[in-house]
Amino acid sequence: MKKKAKRVSRPLTPTEKARLKRNQKLVEQDLPELMALGRKFKARQQSTVQAIVDELQEAKEQAGVSLAELEGRTGINRTALSRFFNRNSNPTVLTLNKVATALGRRLVVSLEKERTS
C-alpha cells in the first residue's frame, strides 16, 4: 500500500513575505508583455503548421485519397485525420511526417536564425 505524502506547511517569515510580494509585482508588471510575446509565438507556430497541413490537404485531394484509405496507410484513425485536416488539432512532427509519407511527400524541417525586426 502506498503511503500518502504528508503536507508540511509553515507561515512565511516577514522577509519571505516581502520577497514574495516583490516577485509578484515583477510578474504583474511583465505579464502583459509576456502574454503578447506568447500569443505572437503561438500564432507564428500555428501559421507554419497550418501551411503544411494545407499543402497536405491539397496533396490528398490531388491524389484522390479518402480518409479511409489514408487511415490504412498511416494507422491514424479517420476521426483524428478529419480533425487534422479541419484545423482542430496541433499535430506533432511525427503525425505530419506520417501523413506526408502516406501521400508520397517528404516532410523537410529546417532551422534558421531568428530575424530581428
Query: 45-92: per-residue pLDDT in tens?
Result: 788 888 999 999 999 999 999 999 999 999 999 999 999 999 767 899
Domains recognised in the chain with CATH numbers: 15-102 (1.10.260)
Q: Cell for 89?
A: 488539432
Global pTM reads 0.64
Mean pLDDT of 24-41: 92
Q: At 24, which helix (H) or strand (E)? A: helix 14-63
